[in-house]
Structure 1
Amino acid sequence: MSKRILVTGGAGFIGSHLCQRLISEGNEVLCVDNFFTGSRRNIVSLLADPKFELLRHDVTYPLSVEVDQIYNLACPASPVHYQFDPVQTTKTSVMGAINMLGLAKRLKAPILQASTSEVYGDPQIHPQVEGYWGNVNPIGPRSCYDEGKRCAETLFFDYYRQHDVQIKVMRIFNTYGPKMHPNDGRVVSNFIVQALRRQDITIYGDGRQTRSFCYVDDLVDGMVKLMNTDQSVTGPINVGNPNEFTIRQLAELVVELANSGSKVVFTDLPVDDPKQRQPNIQMARAVLGWQPTVELREGLIKTIGFFEELLSQGKAAHQATP
């Protein structure tokens, strides 16, 4: 049965893929975005679809609409963007959660929070399981995002306990794919853009720190599966790819797939940058019947193709970084 679905942050990287997926399943989608990091280009293919509606709005202000489900993705997610205005980043996570939870409460609609693996901080256990409380610096330069997302999770569970709101909390691990912002400072987009421009590949630290990279289509599949679980399933649930790679391995693979002559150079590691990041996805497998299917090489080939087209059009160079 077709639903009317609200996606906040719907013009962003993950949000635009989610909007496309929901419309392809016959739903009506209300995409809400303030375009701080989202881009109209990400949703241009949807604008003519009668099942798609776009509303420019900042979730730190209340929103009154009528929908059947709410996906709350609104928040800058890369250090370059969330550290630009850290106070606003925290407000987006916290006030945005309060406003969307209030809407869900009024509508009696299920609401999914796009949380993050950053709630684990620089983890002292590996891989990370949902029961781990994390190792987060509450006063560092990344805290606006890490603690904002942790507070949002607190609000979700308090609304669940106090007001019986139907919540779903999903902890997203490193995700990549087409429609990534070329200047977001994330490792995959950084490496690809540098490789395609035949620039040096910049690695922070010694390159031995690890990450696990999930292709965006897999991530969105897990998100939709979680939203449509029984009301008793609240999460938090890790969604990500458990295959672990060092940053140096990623750099070398990108150089190979981009047919680039770029060389790898090293610079200082940012403050509070986690040394390891790998999800334990046993809960996602058991509860959602979900696991990633796209291997890193396959996903990188698709992502490199997107950036090749972007660079050939000259758009990446003009993509403003806030």
Structure 2
Amino acid sequence: MKRVLITGAAGFLGSHLCDKFIAEGYFVIGMDNLITGDLKNIEHLFKEKNFEFYHHDITKFVHVPGKLDYILHFASPASPIDYLKIPIQTLKVGSLGTHNLLGLARVKKARILIASTSEIYGDPLVHPQTEEYYGNVNTIGPRGVYDEAKRFQESITMAYHTFHGVETRILRIFNTYGPRMRLNDGRVIPAFIGQALRGEDLTVFGDGSQTRSFCYVDDQVEGIWKLLHSDYYLPVNIGNPDEITIKDFAEEIIKLTGTTQKIIYKDLPMNDPLQRQPDISKARAILGWEPKTGRADGMKITYDYFRSLSTEELAKEEHKDFTKYIH
């Protein structure tokens, strides 16, 4: 039985990856320090004989007994609210955490896939974004702690590949959505749906002309699976190229939820990207992958998930105590 370590296992994407690898007959070791992850995302796996969970911060030394065939590095704050609250920890998980996991991969002779992001492109001057584009990033801006953590992560991963011969894969994730996203984490979809379900007006930053491209989680997981098992070691975009403006998307949410709220506009945050659309030519050619779930179908599933949450969960704002992680 092959064994895989998945960091960030209690997060949105990490938990879906745990499900996928369990279903495929792997022994899964989930690891998370639960800064932004939630055990409720993986509690259904605790009864599985082929699942173990380690409550651990990967910025500290990482030890996993026994063999490892694969490592999937998905530990990182991913929402603006989170990484602006814990900027140092965000940089550390992308640098020290990645270094620790690459060292573990080298010792275990395991293949490692690291989760990078479309944010390495910054506010792009090239559209759509190809893997060859180097990006337009403000290193000292508020988003720099996340963007640069991911850019360093890619650099050290390539260094381990070329210098130590570690088998590496680099995934560039574009906006992904689906069940288990957190309400009130600052990302577009849960923010809009949460506001709609609470009867609040939908907040659009800027004039709403900025664009995003949303990929349903099942499609993203399938792309990750194919990339991990491919022979390609350079970065690959995995996302849905179906682009939409934020204003049009807000109107779709109002129609989906059947609410009567209006759209209100606020100032655009500093360095917020104005365009985001993946060029997935490499994913199509190398992996034979492209998204299959249309936004209407994926959003209905996601809306039904949020609607199933309790009134208390919908009403509360998250005030997670990050103070113990600020150092």
- Alignment partner, residue 151 of structure 1: 152
* 2:184–2:317 contact (8 Å) kept in structure 1: no
1:38-57 matches, cutoff 5 A: 38-57=37-56
- Alignment partner, residue 103 of structure 1: 104
- Alignment partner, residue 278 of structure 2: 279
TM-score (norm 1): 0.97
Partner SS for 2:184: coil
- Alignment partner, residue 216 of structure 1: 217
1:179-218 matches, cutoff 5 A: 179-218=180-219
1:74-89 matches, cutoff 5 A: 74-89=75-90
- Alignment partner, residue 30 of structure 1: 29
User: Following TM superposition, by how much is the alpha carbon of 1:12 offset from its aligned partner in structure 2, in angstroms?
Assistant: 0.2
State the alpha-carbon separation in 2 of the partners of residues 291 and 194 from structure 1: 31
State the alpha-carbon separation in 2 of the partners of residues 173 and 314 from structure 1: 27
Q: Which amino acid aligns with 1:199?
A: E
Q: Which amino acid aligns with 1:219?
A: Q
Q: Does 1:114 find its partner at 2:115?
A: yes
Q: What count of residue pairs does the alignment treat as equivalent?
A: 319
Moved over 6 A (4+): none
TM-score (norm 2): 0.96
Q: Which deviates more from structure 2 when the two are superposed, residues 58-67 or residues 75-84?
A: 58-67
- Alignment partner, residue 308 of structure 2: 309
* 1:176–1:214 contact (8 Å) kept in structure 2: yes
Backbone CA RMSD of aligned residues: 1.1
Partner SS for 1:294: coil
User: Following TM superposition, by how much is the alpha carbon of 1:318 offset from its aligned partner in structure 2, in angstroms?
Assistant: 6.3
Q: Which amino acid aligns with 1:50?
A: K
1:239-318 matches, cutoff 5 A: 239-312=238-311, 314=313, 317=316
- Give percent identity, aligned residues only: 49
User: Following TM superposition, by how much is the alpha carbon of 1:316 offset from its aligned partner in structure 2, in angstroms?
Assistant: 6.0
Partner SS for 2:171: strand
Partner SS for 2:36: coil
State the alpha-carbon separation in 2 of the partners of residues 317 and 28 from structure 1: 36
Deviation per CA, 1:88-116: give whole Å up to 9, x if none. 11001101110000000001110000000
- Alignment partner, residue 325 of structure 2: none
Partner SS for 1:75: coil
Deviation per CA, 1:28-68: give whole Å up to 9, x if none. 10000000010011111111111111110001011111321
Partner SS for 1:266: strand
> Structure 1 stretches of 5 or more lacking a match?
none
Deviation per CA, 1:117-136: give whole Å up to 9, x if none. 00000000000000000000
> Structure 2 stretches of 5 or more lacking a match?
323-327
